Amino acid sequence: MRTLTVNGVQLLDRIVADTTFLSDLAAVDCITLSQKEHLINITQPRDRNDKLLEFLTRRSVADFHKFTRVLAKDQAHLVPLLVTDGGETALCVSKTLQSSATVDVTCPNDTPERPSPIFGPFLFIIIIIIIIIIIIIIIIIIIIIIIIITGIFKVA
């Protein structure tokens, strides 16, 4: 994310963060829908770009990769601003990028993306609730069987 700090000033004036670009970022889960809506409501392009870069610095490296891939589709000339010479880049891009060149923003040593950690806690809670419901059903069935066997309620 250091590349955003170093080259962020240049990106502020150059990124075209229009509705289409922001929709593309939201479609690949680079930004959330609420972040997209917030950005759309910012009228000044520089302010919008500043907020977008602020959002990106709070996201994961995988989201930074997604941002760069979306940026490479229509604004490939900006991708080199996200590359540093020190080998500490968040992505790999050809340094001989030309306007008509195809940009490969994948790194050979990229680790596969992990699912969002938000599903972990929710999945755990759902599993616990299901287990509790199953236990309650089993207890009710046992009580009904005991009632039937002991004949507490006799049919007249």
Name the residue with higher pLDDT: 120 or 40.
Answer: 40
- Domain spans, the chain: 2-82, 115-156
What is the number of other CB atoms lying within 10 angstroms of the CB of residue 77? 14
Residue-level pLDDT at 108 = 41
Which CATH code, of 3.90.1170.40, 2.60.40.10, 3.40.50.1980, 1.10.533.10, is assigned to 2-82?
A: 1.10.533.10
Sign of the Cα torsion 115, 117, 118, 121 reads: positive
Rounded mean pLDDT, 29-51? 90
**Phi-psi region at 87: left, alpha or beta (left = phi > 0; alpha = psi -120 to 50):** left
Check residue 115 and report its DSSP letter: P
- In terms of pTM, does the model score above 0.75? no
